Amino acid sequence: MNTQSDMIIVGAGLSGLLTAWRCFDANPEIEILVIEASGRIAGDHTWSFNLTDIPEHLNDWISPFIAYQWSCYDVKFPKRERTLEIPYCTGNSDTLRACVQPHINSGRLKVLLNTKVTKIDSTSVMTETGRRYGAKCVLDARGFKPNDNVFLGYQKFVGHVIKTVEPHGIERPIIMDATVKQFGGYRFVYCLPFTDTEMLVEDTYYTDGPELRRQEIDARIKDYIRDNLGMYDYEVIQREKGVLPITLAVDENAFDNDRDWSKREIGIRGGFYHAISGYSLPDALIIADIISEEISEGFEDYPENPFKNIDTIFPAVQIGHFENERFLRLLNRMLFRAAKPEGRYKILQRFYGLSDGLIKRFYANELKRRDKVRILIGKPPVPVSKALYNFSEKAFIKRERAARTQNQ
């Protein structure tokens, strides 16, 4: 294999492959090498999102990735049930592989599997066997990595895809069924009916720590399917689990100073996920589009090095992302630190009483000032003293750092 490429992307997961795919569509000249530690590209996942989280100009492009789409979905709480008229979509590993396969066939996308990268700089990577690959531009899409300047809670879940003997009768997704018993944090069950007889049932917890007790959760999913969905005759055909970072605070100054901007981190590794949902698909699409646009302009303006602009845009995009999520982090501190674990659902119960438009803007992280006021005013579902205590991000970080030092 040629060891010099236009671009190397390390990690053939969601963000790496979406970026490659977008760059190919917009730039007929580019050739990309993707290096992946596992034995296949795109893993074995489903990725869901509100269609309204995606900028409209990307809707046509992303449509081949979408495997299932619903026009609305339900949420359920002890004191609220509601259908939201927000289109909901799911893509998966098969559709993602199909999107990039033509570029693999044409030879523009080269894939190196079972290859772990151990060192990355802006123009080369080193594998664990000591082989070096060079490129005009390297992107790091290796998935989540903890960061001392980012303070987290966790969304963890176990999912079973079930195949029922009779049609299950669930017509649209239930994004949150929080009528279930609460354990140690905000708990809800998520149901995604792929077909009349196939459905993902996922038991989810917003908790302070990342430990996942898989067997206990497996048993609760079984109980939910029997007691809440009234189904007995089914088999589990697939299982998944996840522990996603939920951002409570970011020390933005330290982050900017410590950051090595020559490392161009995309996807969840670069912090590009929604602070509250932990979902990264919309950000991955947006970043893929920005990178591809910059390269297109680069081919026009600097044909000798079309990747010249990438270095300049990275700090701006990443700093902008963290600035833009300050309000979401405040809400997370209310959820995780101001509310009692078993009472966290009340915050979401209240939130889902707000308008469809506000909820759409919340997930797209496009809240207006008046939306933020609407979210915060009214009878608070958390004690006021605890809310005030956790209001300042700076003070929160100071306390967290002190606690970390004490625990060391």
Ligand X SMILES: Cc1cc2nc3c(=O)[nH]c(=O)nc-3n(C[C@H](O)[C@H](O)[C@H](O)COP(=O)(O)OP(=O)(O)OC[C@H]3O[C@@H](n4cnc5c(N)ncnc54)[C@H](O)[C@@H]3O)c2cc1C
Helix H or strand E encompassing 219? helix 214-227
DSSP for 230-286, please give it: ---SEEEEEEEEEEEEEEEEE-HHHHHHH--TTS-B-GGGGT-S-TTT---HHHHHH
Task: Name 328's Cβ contacts closer than 8 Å, sequence gap at least 6.
Answer: 247, 274, 275, 276, 365
C-beta closer to ligand X: residue 43 or 380: 43
Residue nearest to ligand X (CB): 13
Q: Which of 162, 244, 288, 375 binds ligand X (CB under 6 A)?
A: 244
Q: Which residues from 103-122 bind ligand X, rule CB under 6 A?
A: 116-117
C-beta closer to ligand X: residue 193 or 381: 193
Shortest gap between Cβ of 391 and ligand X (angstroms)? Answer: 28
Q: Which of 58, 66, 110, 143 binds ligand X (CB under 6 A)?
A: 143
Shortest gap between Cβ of 22 and ligand X (angstroms)? Answer: 13
Task: Name 30's Cβ contacts closer than 8 Å, sequence gap at least 6.
Answer: 6, 7, 23, 24, 108, 295, 306
> How many C-alpha atoms does 364 have within 13 Å on its Cβ side?
20
In whole angstroms, give the CA distance from residue 70 to residue 92: 15
C-beta closer to ligand X: residue 50 or 390: 50
Confirm or reject binding of residue 8 to ligand X (CB under 6 A): no
The 378-407 site mask, x for binding ligand X (CB under 6 A), equals ------------------------------
Which of 14-22, 174-182, 224-232, 332-340 is the region at the interface with ligand X (rule: CB under 6 A)?
A: 14-22
Q: Which residues from 20-49 bind ligand X, rule CB under 6 A?
A: 35-38, 43, 45, 47-49
In whole angstroms, give the CA distance from residue 25 to residue 46: 23
C-beta closer to ligand X: residue 277 or 309: 277
Shortest gap between Cβ of 309 and ligand X (angstroms)? Answer: 22
Shortest gap between Cβ of 315 and ligand X (angstroms)? Answer: 19
Q: Tell me if residue 124 falls in helix, strand or coil.
A: strand
Task: Name 180's Cβ contacts closer than 8 Å, sequence gap at least 6.
Answer: 187, 188, 189, 203, 220, 224, 228
The 253-272 site mask, x for binding ligand X (CB under 6 A), equals --------------xxx---
In whole angstroms, give the CA distance from residue 145 to residue 277: 18
Q: For the purposes of burial, counting CB atoms within 10 Å of the CB of 179, is it exposed (0-12), middle (13-18) or buried (19 or more)?
A: middle
- Packed helices 281-301 and 308-324: angle between N→C axes, nearest 10 degrees: 150
Confirm or reject binding of residue 89 to ligand X (CB under 6 A): no
C-beta closer to ligand X: residue 43 or 343: 43
CA distances from 374 to 53, 201, 293, 314, 354 (A): 20, 32, 36, 33, 8
* Beta carbons of 84 and 359 less than 8 angstroms apart: yes
**Closest C-alpha among 273, 275, 394 to residue 329:** 275
Shortest gap between Cβ of 3 and ligand X (angstroms)? Answer: 16
Q: Which residues from 290-349 bind ligand X, rule CB under 6 A?
A: none
Q: Which residues from 217-236 bind ligand X, rule CB under 6 A?
A: none
Q: Which of 9, 16, 89, 251 binds ligand X (CB under 6 A)?
A: 16
Shortest gap between Cβ of 54 and ligand X (angstroms)? Answer: 11
Q: Which of 14, 100, 276, 338 binds ligand X (CB under 6 A)?
A: 14
C-beta closer to ligand X: residue 49 or 345: 49
In whole angstroms, give the CA distance from residue 80 to residue 167: 27
The 272-291 site mask, x for binding ligand X (CB under 6 A), equals ------xxxx----------
* Beta carbons of 134 and 124 less than 8 angstroms apart: yes
Applying CB under 6 A, which residues contact ligand X? 10-16, 35-38, 43, 45, 47-49, 116-117, 141-143, 240, 242, 244, 267-269, 278-281
